Every structure is written in C-alpha cells, then in structure tokens.
Structure 1
C-alpha cells in the first residue's frame, strides 16, 4: 500500500475519521489494528515476526527496569540478540553464505550449499533499530519503560513510519502514544503541506527522474556524459524519493496528533561530510552516533581511535543499507571523506563554517555535492561489474548521445526550481518558509504544487527506494 496510491488515500481517510472520534484507549487499540493491517498489506506472513520482536522487547524492557547489575545487562543482551538476530538472518544470511562460498571457491575448496530462499521483510531494518534504541535507553535509565503492552506495540508499529522511518526514539514517540493529544488546525495545516511536499518530491521529481537513472545504469554502452547526468538524476531521485516518503509520513502522523522527527534538512547544501550527515537521514545518522560511534569511544581517545570509530560506524551504516559489497564500499567512502575532512579541520586547512553565499561556501557546497554524487554511483550500482563499466565510461571521452539533450533538459526542468526553493529555505534558515508568505502568494504556492502533482506527477506504482532496506 504505497503512500502515493488511491488505496492508501482510502485507508488513511477511514483511519483518520475513526481515530478522531474515539477516546484514548480505544483509539490506541484501533491504530494498532490499523498499523498491523497496513503492514499485512505488504506481506501478512511477517506479522508474527514483528509481533514476536515487540513481545521480546516489551518484556526485556520491564525486566531491565526491575533489576540492576549483571541480570539487567543480560536482559539487554537478550533484546540485542533477538533484534540483531532477526535482522541478520533475514537480511544478511544469504549474503554472508554467498561471500563465504566465493572465498572457498577461490581457494579451490568445495563450498557447502547453504542458501535459503529468505524473503526480506519490509521495514525490518527500521523497526528493529527503533525497538533496539528503546531497550538501550531503558537500560541506560534514560527512559522509563511503557507498562501497557498496547502502547509499546503502537510505538513499534505506528503505520506512517513503520516501513521506512523515521527511526523514532522512545523519548520522543513512546511518550506521545501514552496520551491523546488534541488535533489542532495547525496539525491539519502543517500536515497537509508536508503531504503535498512529499507527493511533489516523490511523484514529480523522483519518479520522473527514475527512467533516466534506469536507462543509464542498465545501458552497457552508455556515454560518459550520459553517465554523469544519470548520477545527477539519481542524486535527486533518491533525495526526492526518501525525503518525500519522510514528509508524507510526518504529515499523516501530524493529522493524527503525532510529531515525528525531522529526517532531512536540505542535505545538498552541506559544506562537509559531517554537515551532510547532520542533514541526510537524520534518524539513522543520529542512531549510529548515539548507539555505535559514541559507545565505541567517539572522539574521546587518540586521533587514530577517532578515525577508526568513524570508519567502523560508516562501514556498518553501509551494511545496514543492504547486503552487498557495493553498500559496504559506499559506507567506506563516506567514512574516508569524514576522516579526510576532520584531518583538514584539525590542521586548520579548512574552516568549520563559512558565510553563506560567499565564494568559499559555494565552492564547498559544490565539492560536497559532487563527493556525494560519487557515493551515489557506489550506492546505485548493483554489482562491481556495473560499477567498473560506469566508472570506465566516466573516464572515457564524452561524446554524448541522441538522449543527452533530453536527459539534460529534464534534469534542469525538474531540479532547478527545487534547488531555488531549497536555497531560499537554506538562506532563511526555515524549512517551512511558505508559512511566512501572505495569504495570496501562499495559496499560489499550494495551487502550483497541486497542479504540478496532478499534471506531471508520475503515478506508475513505483515503490519507494528505501523499502528495500
């Protein structure tokens, strides 16, 4: 059930109307049933899996709250093993078995045939990390556990953020599900604008750029210039697709009185890698910081240990995205540029901040954008063979093709207006700049957005990219 489908529109209309009139406790029960129905529309076979994960973490959190010392730590270990075990088996079993097979074969040894037909449950990377952060916070005594099982189950499965985030924290969302917040007109207004923005990014930007990306990355004889345009197209496709999903998720949640965390903050105006990761997939990058990088030691030790911790964090962040060596390489690349820019700052070769619109700012924004585009080539390539072919095309003479002009004009038409709006938001320091407008200009913005969605939006049923993670 895609956010940009009539099925979801009908589903959400029914859910909103029913939950609006229900008192608190029946409302939570209804939303829990609706969330399980929503998840079951993807694959009902995995409803038991998410229920099992919820039950284990619920009882582990209560047990940790009652005990201290070694017994408390054991319950945390149970929660970690169950969550990471679910994630590891369904997402990585065949990957590690295949990698081991290839290694044994290269050594001239016979490889056991342990491959299983494992289907990846949608959203498993998201809800396991969300549940895991909750139990870790309970263990650290940063959070009191929810006593009511239905409240905790709703925290894990609330449908707007269930299959692709944001990866919520207990301190933020778990406290919201324990009370019914009155839905205000501001919630409806802000939620509606978030939904419109999300649909625009997904249907107008991402899904119209997708054919360019698919054509370039699957073309075995693609010209270098076309490959470059294809990488630019993918940079805006994945941004529009994923940030669009997050906007719609936050908007639908606002309609029901829930405030989900911000997940994107104009990432292509970042001036260095750490700035980029404070703007891109914020719920994941902050999760990796709080539950991996800092526990590893963060920047508290020597310079070498800091660089090691950065690399390990980004390698595991790459592996989180997918069971493929290209994702690990993507994580390694981001780890390497994080280390490189940190070295440059420590030796006073670059400033931590620069005035916006200054030549230095423009240069660093362009540099960081193109470094990010290099990483998107690693991310989008489905094999090292494809990566090698595309890299070879980029390093060969650029002659263009009969499709080059079409790709270029489509990119300019779709991306330049978006960049202009985002630049205004960046300079104003306000992601909701449209609210500052007077009534008539604001109405014109809304009308233009709706018309663009209806006239040039693509509604071909293309799934959101991050559903595969």
Structure 2
C-alpha cells in the first residue's frame, strides 16, 4: 500500500484518523501499531512476521546490552543486534546479487552455476534497518535510554508514515514522542496541509514526468540527443518530486499524530556543488551516513588527505549499494563520491567563483548524468543512453503532450524558486509553521481538501502511479 493509492486515501487513512482521534491518549500507540501492522501486511503478508519477530528480538538484545556493565558483554550484545539486523538486510537484499555475480564468474570459468531460488525483497527493509541500527548504537553509546515497552519499540520501527520510504527517523529524534505526545488541532491541520502538498507533488508532477521518462527510456531504438536529454531531465524531476512528495506526506502524517519527523529535502536542484547537493537531498540518509559511518571511520580527523578521500569514497560506495543490489547503484555512488572529492580538491572553490546560478546549472548537469546510472538496469544500457545524450543526432525537440511541457515548466520553476525572494515567500506560505487564528487556517483547510479530492480523481483516472523508492 502506498500513500498515493485510492485504497490508502479513501479507506485506510480516514478510518485510521477517525479511530486515532477518538481513542484516549494511552491507547494511541496501540491503534498506531495495529494499523501499521495492517498497512505493512497488506503489501507483504509473509514478511510482516519476519519484521515483527526480528523487532521483538532486537528489543530484548538491546535491553540486555543496556543492563550489562562489563564493556565486553555490552559489545557482544551490540554485535548480536547489529549482526541480526545487517544479516537480514544482507540476505534479503543482496543474496540474489551475490549469487548472480558468483554464477557469472563460474560460467565464465566453464563451471556449472549454483542452483538458487531467488529471494523476495521485503518492502522498506533498507529504511527500517537503519532505524534499528540507530537504536542499538545510541543505547550502546549511552546517548539514549532504551524504551521500557516492546510495544513502543514496535511503534518506532513499524509506524506506517515513515517505515516504507523514510525519512530515516533516528531513535533520539522521537524517543520522547514515542512515550508521550500531544496532538493539537493546529498540528493536525498543519500535518494535513503538508500531506496534501506532498500528494500534489507526487500525482500532479512526478507521475506526469515519470510517464514521459518511462516512454523515452523504454524506446527500442537509441533516442536522438534532444529526446535523450529530455528523458534524463524528466527522470530527474520525477525522482525528486516523487521522493520529496512522499517525504512530505510522511512528515505530514507524523505531524497529524503528534510526531515531529526530520526534514528530508531542501531544494536540492539549487545546490552549487555536489557537497551542497548532499546537504539538501535525502538529508536523513546523509546524516545517518555521516554520524554512523563517516565519523566512526575517522571523518575529517584523519592523518592524511588520502585517508579523508578514502573515507568519502567508502561512504558513497556503500550509499550507492544501500539504494539497490546492482553494480549501477555502486557506480552511481562512486560517481558522487568522486565529485565530493573533487569538491575538496578544487571544484567547490571554482563553482563559488562562478556565481550561484551557473554553479547550480553545472551541479544539475552532473546530477542528471548520475541519474542515468541510477535509472538504467545495466552498465551497458547506461553508457548507450549517455552516448545518445552526448553523441546522438540533433533532430529538434521531440513531439510530446502539452500537459507534459506545462508540467516540466512548473517543475523547473518549483525546483529553483528559492533562488528568488518571491519564491522563498511562496515557500513560506506553502509550508505554514503555525496559524494565528481560524481566519488564517480556513483557506489552508479548504485548499487542502480540494487538492486531496482532485488528486483522488486524477489517480482514479490514470493508470500510471509508481513510486520509485518503494523498492528500496
């Protein structure tokens, strides 16, 4: 089940909000847990048992870690917790990839391939695994006290707003809210406004751009240069408005329940270099990688520049692999890691001298090239497509619908709006932080209800409604 489905919008969410609002405060976690389990089981009825069982086991492993006093025992309990969670991620997400590569090597050497039954991928495993790791590590570091009730831990991991596709919510960010939270009518309206804004991004922009991107990337023949660039730009818009829209919906849902989830995007396509891009794109993943991988590797406090660059390289190789079990994801991670190193060497200073707008255009150019590797299944497909982008014949702009051109124009304006004072003012209006009285709140409610209803109508009438990050 995804947020932009009719099942969720017209049935699941209204029933959940009604029940959640009516029950007393002491029962809200139980209601959230019950609906979250149903939400996950709807799309993965078998894996929900694996998820619940592993979460319960992890709760008691971390409790044992907390109660242990000897450093060696604490480390042993930590390793058990990390080993179980990383082991499940490795098996379900990377076993097929490993076996496929081993079999390719064996076949090349003239040896029979290993017989193997493909492993299905549990929905959202990359996201909730990182949350379990933050719980174990934060308790081990004595930065946080563990939760007292296993049901609260299940709520933290299974909570349906963010379990499928983030944002990656660290334990310390919501620990107090898991135990007790207050939901005010203002919070519910602000959350609903945020949810409908994300829904609009997904349905009205991402889906339109995605349909054209799929058409172009799926052409039987190699596209001409203009068509290839149009497909890449459309995909860049699709993945941003798709994922940022989903994050908006998750943050909005959390706010309606009393949670304050961290922001996940901050106008990434106005970034002036790749380092700046990663401060703005999938922010919660970047912070996770920084605090739980980059800094433990030594971070910036290393003895040589070579070790610093090595740390950056490792982090982004793993970041690429986190996104998917494919060499193209690894290449995409290495691609971004290379430009992060180049930023440290000279590129950031160079783009700073260029001025903000030219630097943003150059950064988008680099990012779009990277998205080709992210989009394509194999390395050869990616290089063939890039060859069309840079070496294909120019036959003029391709014929496509007026709806697509209007949507592309709106997406470009929306992506770069914060570069202007007017754009920043509009952004402030779209993301209200509080309402002074009911007169200021009423227009938001009316517009949000209309947007919600119109999005439902559009979803009902169109067959194309994918979600890119759903498979991660």
| TM value normalised by structure 2 | 0.90
Q: 1:415 aligns with which of 369, 391, 411?
A: 411
Aligned-residue offset at 1:388: 2.3
Give the corresponding residue for 2:15: 14
Counterpart in the other structure of 1:336: 338
Equivalent position to 1:385, from 376, 380, 388: 380
Q: Deviations over 1:373-418 (max 9, x none)?
A: 0110110011123112212212324333783454872554442442
Q: In structure 2, which of residues 367, 374, 383 is the aligned counterpart of residue 372 of structure 1?
A: 367
Secondary structure of 2:36's counterpart equals helix
Separation in 2 of the partners of 1:80 and 1:228? 43
1:220–1:389 Cα contact (<8 Å) kept: no
Gaps of 5+ in 1: none
In 2, distance between residues paired with 1:116 and 1:48?
A: 21
* 2:328/2:374 contact within 8 Å kept: yes
Question: CA offsets per residue over residues 88-108 of structure 1, 9 Å max, x none?
Answer: 1111001011111212333x2
Given that residues 224 and 395 in structure 1 are in contact (C-alpha distance below 8 angstroms), is that contact kept between their aligned partners in structure 2? Answer: yes
CA contact (8 A) 1:266 1:426 kept: no
Structure 1 residues 193-213: Cα deviation after superposition (integer angstroms, max 9, x where no partner): 211111111001111111211
Match of 1:104 in 2: 106
Q: Where does the alignment leave 5 or more consecutive residues of structure 2 unmatched?
A: none
Does structure 1 conserve the Cα–Cα contact (< 8 Å) formed by 2:289 and 2:315?
A: yes
SS in 2 for 1:264: coil
- Mapping of residues 159-178 of structure 1, within 5 Å: 159-178=160-179
Matched residues in 1 for 2:179 and 2:88: separation? 27
Partner of 1:403: 398
Sort the Cα spacing of 1:19 and 1:455 in 2 relative to 1 into closer, same or farther, 3 A.
Answer: closer
Name the counterpart of 1:78.
80
Cα contact 1:227–1:393 (8 A) shared by 2: yes
CA contact (8 A) 2:93 2:325 kept: yes
State whether residues 210 and 237 of structure 1, in contact with CA within 8 Å, keep that contact through their aligned partners in structure 2. Answer: yes
Aligned counterpart, 2:329 = 327
Give the whole-Å Cα distance in 1 for the aligned partners of 2:187 and 2:448.
17
Cα RMSD (Å): 2.6
What does residue range 10-409 of structure 1 map to in structure 2 within 5 Å?
A: 10-67=11-68, 68-106=70-108, 108-179=109-180, 181-221=181-221, 222-301=223-302, 302-344=304-346, 349=350, 351=352, 360-400=355-395, 403-404=398-399, 406=401, 409=405
1:203-246 Cα shifts (integer Å, max 9, x gaps):
01111111211111111321121010100000010011111111
Aligned CA distance change for structure 1 residues 146 and 430 (closer, same or farther; 3 Å): farther
Distance 1:101 1:80 in 2: 29
CA distance in 2, matches of 1:19, 1:86: 32
The secondary structure found in structure 1 opposite 2:296 is helix
Equivalent residue, structure 1, for 2:2? 2
- Residues 6-29 of structure 1 show CA distances to partners (whole Å, capped at 9, x for unaligned) of 221221111112122222332212
Give the direction of change, closer, same or farther, for the CA distance of 1:412–1:241 in structure 2 (3 Å limit).
closer
1:35-58 Cα offsets, whole Å, 9 max, x none, are 101000011101111112212220
Preserved CA contact (<8 Å) 2:166 2:247:
yes
Q: 1:466 aligns with which of 463, 466, 469?
A: 469
SS at match of 2:355: helix
Partner Cα separation in structure 1 for residue 369 and residue 65 of structure 2 = 44
In 2, the alpha carbon distance for the partners of 1:341 and 1:388 equals: 24
Distance 2:224 2:146 in 1: 57
Partners of 2:447 and 2:421 in 1: CA distance: 14
Q: Is the 8 A contact 1:97 1:114 kept in 2?
A: no
Does the C-alpha gap of structure 1 residues 455 and 324 become closer, same or farther in structure 2, counting only changes over 3 Å? same
TM-score, normalised to structure 1, is 0.91
Over 3 Å counting, the alpha-carbon distance change for 1:272 and 1:401 in structure 2 is closer
1:195/1:167 Cα in 2 relative to 1: closer, same or farther (>3 Å)? same
The CA deviation at 1:273 is: 1.4
Q: Distance in 1 between matches of 2:174 and 2:210?
A: 33
1:122 deviates by 0.3
Residue 326 of structure 1 deviates from its aligned partner by: 0.4
Matched positions, count: 460
